[in-house]
Amino acid sequence: MRVPFNKIIDCLEIKADWIGVREVSCQSATLSARNAHSEQSNFAVDQGVMIEVLQDGQFGYASTYSLDMQSIRSTAQQALLMAKIGSPYKVAHFTQNQRPNHQKEDSLLQKTQPLLFSDKLPQIEEKLIELSAYLKKSPPIINAMVMALVTQMEQRYASTSGSSITQNFQFISPFMKVTAAKGNIIQTRTLNGHFAHSYQGSLAGLDEIINRENADQVVADVLELLSAEPCPSGDLDLVLAPDQMMLQIHESIGHPLEIDRILGDERNFAGSSFVKVSDFGFLHYGSPMMNVSFDPNVSGEFATYEFDDIGQRAKPEKIIQRGLLLRGLGGLESQWRSGLPGVANLRASNWNRPAIDRIGNLNLDPGSSSQEEILGAVENGVLMMTNRSWSIDDCRNKFQFGCEMGKLIRKGKIIRTVRDPNYRGETVPFWNRLALVGNAATMKVYGTPYCGKGEPSQLARVGHGAPLCLFRDIEVFGGV
């Protein structure tokens, strides 16, 4: 028989310095349509519990999908065993100070209607099928795909130090993609990138994204790309649209500033960081135009939450101000280990993974330049839109990005479309070439459910808002 969450801690029958329990329940739907047909829509019900034990300075964890008394008790014993066998070799001595004590029963979002088997899902799928048929209507288009991922999640957290938190979320990720071919040229265009329109909110919001107006633009773009010249090569001015700024922020600000990465935890897998503990407060990460915020409270942004997964209350913090690096992205464990101030970002992908430092909502604050002013300031350059490729070295320094579409700018005017635009650079010099930052009118907020990191590996949801930005003198190049 299933143990009610509020009884779990009482029934564990282990003695430890501290115990925490995190239960996660999810219902999810992946609705998919391709070329006017349903493409195997899938659903999932998932539930499990993670028990975390602190003993002799070491956290041990054990997780199970099975919520009966016997399984829960056995799992707790495993967690205690893990802590005990790990303690003699621990990398840091943790205490209850790394596990705060808060109570919260309401959540930012009202609990929504149960997702699975509702009438809404077939209705949404029908809409996706219709739109995929609409996208496919032009002959050069060889593939048209429309998708929506929907996840409802309830997360409950309790601890022996008195934490008691319930949070409810609804995550929605719509996506649209077309591929077209003409002769030897094949081009793909999406709606602002791979699931870039990820948001938290209601299903009604899908209509603002998955619609014919956006479909018309995606089709027009891909057909234009088929006849476009390749992007030229050279050191040019580079204007990045918000749907490419998203990846630039993610890879060259977000990840390098994760404090657990700076402490070396990720060196075997995702890599390290060029940032050192001593850089905070001193490193000029970018030009004075650069202001970056960690903001877990933005309504609808994909990584908005009230508490992180060890129960720390999440609040906005300035990370970079006028180009100066102020604060890292690390939760209470990393803050303790490094001595640095951080943010509430210890998060886990699900009940079956331990919490680690994750980027969260990381946004470039808007500046004061209009779109016209930014384009007008370019003598010879390229505007690049929508990320399609990303690569960076294991210290987060040398990067290369590719985009779906480019526009040549000459003497302040867009003159034509170019295909296969790419650029490369090094993180700190690049951000110090940030010359103009768009105003709030140019700002867009995007997200993704696919930020990967950790051992065992985990996918995290992140959000990135950014305006249009101008960078001077960047190495730009085209395709083969």
Partner 1 sequence: MEVEQVEDQFAQVAEKLINLLDRDEHLTLALRGESSQFLRINQSKVRQIGTVDDIVLTLQFIKGDRQSSLEIPFYADIKQDLPLGQKMIEELRSLVPRLGRDPFLVLPQSYGFSQVKHKGTLLPKEKVPEALLKHLSASDLVGFYAAGDLFRANINSAGQKHWFSTQTYCFDYSLFSELHPQQAAVKGRVGGTTWNQQNYQQKISQANEELNYLNQPLMNLPTGKYRVYLSPGAVNELLHILAWDTLSESSIQRGESCLSKMKFGERIFSEKFSLRENFSYGWKERFNTLGELAPDLLDLIQNGVWVNTLINARSAKEYQKLSNGANSEEHPQSPEILPGAMTPKEILGRLDTGLYITNLHYLNWSDRPNGRITGMTRNACFLVQKGKIVGPILPLRFDETLFHFFGKGLEDFTDFQEEWPEPHTYLYRQLGGRIVPGALVDNVTFTL
Please report which helix (H) or strand (E) contains residue 431, including its range.
helix 427-431
Cα–Cα distance measured from residue 304 to residue 95, given in angstroms and rounded to the nearest whole number: 27
- Please state the closest distance from residue 241 (CB atom) to partner 1, in A: 19
Question: In the bound complex, what is the minimum distance in angstroms from residue 209's beta carbon to partner 1?
Answer: 20
Element (H, E) at 23: strand 18-34
Task: Give the residue with the Cβ less far from partner 1, 208 or 455.
Answer: 455
Nearer to partner 1, 350 or 370 (CB): 350
Least Cβ distance, residue 281 to partner 1 (angstroms): 20
Q: How far is the CB of 125 from partner 1 (least distance, A)?
A: 6
Strands 469-477 and 422-426: antiparallel
In the complex, least distance from residue 200 CB atom to partner 1, rounded to whole angstroms: 21
Tokens of 393: 């070295």
* Chain centroid, CA 92 distance in Å: 28
Which is it for the CA torsion 378, 380, 383, 388, positive or negative? negative
Q: Which of 266, 107, 193, 190 is nearest to 464 (CA)?
A: 193
Residue (41 or 371) nearer to partner 1, CB: 41
Q: Within a 10 A sphere around the Cβ of 36, how many other Cβ atoms?
A: 15
Nearer to partner 1, 28 or 321 (CB): 28
| CA distance from start to end of the chain | 61
Quick one: tokens of 233? Answer: 């090569």
Residue 449, both tokens:
């459910």
| Minimum distance, C-beta of residue 11 to partner 1, in the bound complex (Å) | 18
CA Rg value for the chain:
24
CA 170 to mean position of chain CA atoms:
15
Residue with smaller CB distance to partner 1, 1 or 411: 1
Residue with tokens 């791979």: 194
> Minimum CB separation from partner 1 for residue 107, in Å?
24
The residue (of 48 and 323) whose beta carbon lies closer to partner 1 is 48
86 CB contacts (<8 Å, ≥6 apart)? 58, 60
Smallest distance from partner 1 to CB 59, Å:
7
| CA-to-CA separations, 92 to 164, 358, 443, in angstroms, rounded | 26, 20, 41
Compute the least distance from the CB of residue 349 to partner 1, in Å.
Answer: 8
Q: Min. distance of Cβ 233 from partner 1 in angstroms? A: 11
* Nearest by Cα to 218 from 247, 196, 236, 249: 196
Residue 163 or 334: which CB sits closer to partner 1? 334
For residues 203 and 60, what is the distance between their CA atoms, to the nearest angstrom? 38
Measured from the CB of residue 23, what is the shortest distance to partner 1 in angstroms? 13
Contact 165, 173 (CB under 8 A): no
Closest CA to 254 of 341, 328, 187: 328
> Which C-beta is closer to partner 1: that of 150 or that of 289?
150
Of 67 and 468, which has the nearer Cβ to partner 1?
67
- Of 143 and 321, the one with the shorter C-beta distance to partner 1 is 143
Structure tokens at 379: 């003598």
Residues contacting residue 204 through CB under 8 Å, at least 6 positions apart: none
260 or 317: CB nearest partner 1: 260
In the structure encoding, which two tokens stand for residue 368, read together?
């004061």
